[in-house]
Structure 1
Amino acid sequence: MGTLIGHVAPGFGFLLIGLWHLFNHTKNYVLNPSSYTSSQWFPSSKLRFLELYLIMAGTWASIAMELVIGPEKHQPFDSDGTIPSNHLHNFEHATISLSFFIYATFAIILDRLKPKAHHELLQLLAAFAFAQQFLLFRLHSSDHMGMEGQYHLLLQVIILVSLITTLLGITYPKSFIVSFIRSLSICFQGVWFAVMGFVLWTPGLIPKGCFMNLEEDHLVVRCKTDEYLDRARSLVNLQFSWLLAMFAVFAMVFYLVLLRMCPEKVEYWSVGMVDEDGSEDLESQKKSHSIIEESKSFVSMGKGSTAVEIER
């Protein structure tokens, strides 16, 4: 992951999944706000598990890149079979990818078996993946005291939002705002990964007074003085704040546009025939219908008998 493509590629994956979730959550809520229920993944029209297959393929490619393709010897171990210090970050990144691979694999298994509480278990697996991601970035083996450290610190804030909203989704499965924020945070992760990759590994985008330095077989941004370092960190904070403002505007525009494109379905219910959870009681509807029909027939019989008596 410590390269330009190593940040942009997973960033694109997070952004793609986040936009897919954002679209489906918003569409489902706009069409059926009363019966909306959050979902952790969404089937496609032609291939049901396409989203999960893409996650599995992307994470598997990431693991291969970190442990096999990236290292010079095409394996991350030292001559004595131990993990060298310059490859610790490769194992950490691969472990994050493994967590999301486990989530996608069990999402398919749980969907096919459909055991009890499989929705809650899937949310828990997603929370496990985000928790793993947060902890490994928090306890990263690389030196994150400089400009790169500021990027990773703010990345942890975004991951924490994804983790918290995923856990809230277990308790509040019908909350649209929880799912909406989680989808936005996944999109934000993707954009922030891409920004980090471009700024830290493009010489022309490195802040003034800072430079790229080769350390432990990978390039790291260093600054000449503490003053330049403080300036670089402040620029990172500004980038984060501007992107956050852009995402706030994007979220509102996205929702309003989809609201206009997908008008709400109007549903009519008989008074007193709706359960507490908003679902229709079909048995009550049938009983009510039969009672009405019986009342009508009784009235008709009454009118008929009255007419006969008058003739008599």
Structure 2
Amino acid sequence: MGSLVGHVAPGVAIFLLGFWHLLNNIRLHYLHPNSYTSSPWFPTSKFRYAELCFIMVGTSISIAMELFIGPSRHQPFDPDGTIPSYHLHNFEHSSISLTFFVYAVLAILLDRTPNHPARDINLIKGLTQLIGAIAFAQQLFLFHLHSTDHMSVEGQYHLLLQFIIAVSLATTLMGIRYPKSFLISFVRSISITFQGIWLIVLGYMLWTPGLVPKGCFLNFEEGHQVVRCSSQEALDRAKALVNIEFSLFLVGITIFAVSFYLGLGRMYGLKIVEYSTVQENDEGEESDSDVESQKRSNKLLQDSKSLIHMGKASN
């Protein structure tokens, strides 16, 4: 990471992934409110593993950028084979990407388990959720013990990012125990979306000179630029601004998520009502047909009785 592109690119990918989960969880809940069950990933109609392949491709690019493309020598080691201190963060970021890559691979392997009586779909989903939780735990662990300076403005952004990751981790673990809870899946989807948004914001706010807080400046250190402040007062002010920024984005994404839920509810609700109306009309037409048939049968029966009575009278 360590740059605007290094934060914005993965941020966009995580945002798209979170939005995909949010869309599918809401749609699934509206279409099947009584039988809703959360899913750790969602297949597409054209290619079942599109989401998981997207994760694998994205994390592979991230690892390549961190370890081979980004470093000036196109490899992260010193001539003696040791890891220099200014490349430690590259290994931390690539370790996070590697864990999510492993998650995607294992999710595909679990889904392709041979279909036999002992195969439990809920168990497969639970194991996949557990691997996802391990990936979030790894992410939280490495950001919490990040080699980057925790006291800087960037450290404040990373601290707030840890809160979002913790929500993703907690809801993923809760989803194993409560797979039918839409609310848990809804919050998890929002937290993943928020992760992506916050990484994008972090990238622009820390590496765009015009957005650096007053009293702070970009300084080139250990191979990349970092935000430094001229005084403790300027640093405290910059951190306070980051906290306010986080609060505003939290309110904004809450409004967006609820509005998106209501909007999709209106769309899918109309479809359900139309479908129910068609069914009721069909049933009504069938009942009308049955009534007419019954009337015709009764009329034929009465006519036949009248003919029999007339035959007896003539005799």
For the criterion TM > 0.5, the same-fold answer is yes
Equivalent residue, structure 2, for 1:72: 72
Corresponding residue number in structure 2 for 1:118: 124
Q: Secondary structure at the match of 1:113?
A: coil
Map of 1:45-194 to 2, 5 A cutoff? Answer: 45-113=45-113, 115-116=119-120, 117-194=123-200
Deviation at 1:252, TM superposition (A): 1.1
Q: CA RMSD in A?
A: 1.4
Q: Relative to total residues, which structure has the larger helix share, 1 or 2?
A: 2
Task: Please say which structure displays the higher CA radius of gyration.
Answer: 2
Q: Give, in angstroms, the shift of residue 214 of structure 1.
A: 1.1
Aligned residue number for residue 7 of structure 1 = 7
Contact 2:29 2:182 in 1 (8 A): yes
**Equivalent position of 1:16 in the other structure:** 16
Aligned residues of 1:55 and 1:100 also touching (Cα < 8 A): yes
**TM-score normalized by the length of structure 1:** 0.84
SS in 2 for 1:211: strand
Is 2:218 aligned against 1:212? yes
CA distance in 1, matches of 2:208, 2:105: 36
Q: Does 1:246 align with 2:246?
A: no
Per the normalisation by structure 2, the TM-score is 0.83
Q: Using the aligned pairs only, state the percent identity.
A: 62
**Paired residue secondary structure (2:220):** strand
| Distance across 2 between alignment mates of 1:208 and 1:122 | 46
Aligned to 2:235: 229
Partner of 1:283: none
Q: Aligned partner of 1:31: which letter?
A: L
Tell me the secondary structure at the aligned position of residue 238 of structure 1: helix
Deviation of the 1:251 alpha carbon: 1.3
Distance 1:252 1:219 in 2: 38
**AA aligned opposite 2:102:** I
The 2-side partners of 1:6 and 1:258 are apart by: 33
Whether the aligned pair in 2 keeps the contact of 1:32 and 1:265 (CA below 8 Å) is no
Q: Deviations over 1:188-223 (max 9, x none)?
A: 000000000001000000010000111111111000
How far apart in 1 are the matches of 2:25 and 2:234? 43
Query: C-alpha displacement at 1:144, in angstroms?
Result: 2.0
How far apart are 1:158 and its partner, in Å? 0.2
Cα distance in 2 for partners of 1:43, 1:163 equals 22
Per-residue displacement from partner, 1:55-84 (whole Å, max 9, x unpaired)? 000000000000000001100011111111
Q: Which residue identity lines up with residue 240 of structure 2 in the other structure?
A: S
Give CA deviations for 1:93-141 in whole Å, capped at 9, x if unaligned: 0000001000001111111116441111100000000000000000011
Structure 2 residues not aligned, in runs of 5+: 277-315
Amino acid at match of 1:62: S
Residue 52 of structure 1, CA deviation: 0.6
Q: Is the 8 A contact 2:133 2:169 kept in 1?
A: yes
Number of residue pairs matched?
A: 268
SS at match of 2:219: strand
Which runs of 4 or more aligned residues in structure 1 lie more than 3 Å from their structure 2 counterparts after TM superposition? 264-268
1: CA distance, partners of 2:261 / 2:86: 45
Distance in 2 between the 1:253 and 1:142 partners?
37
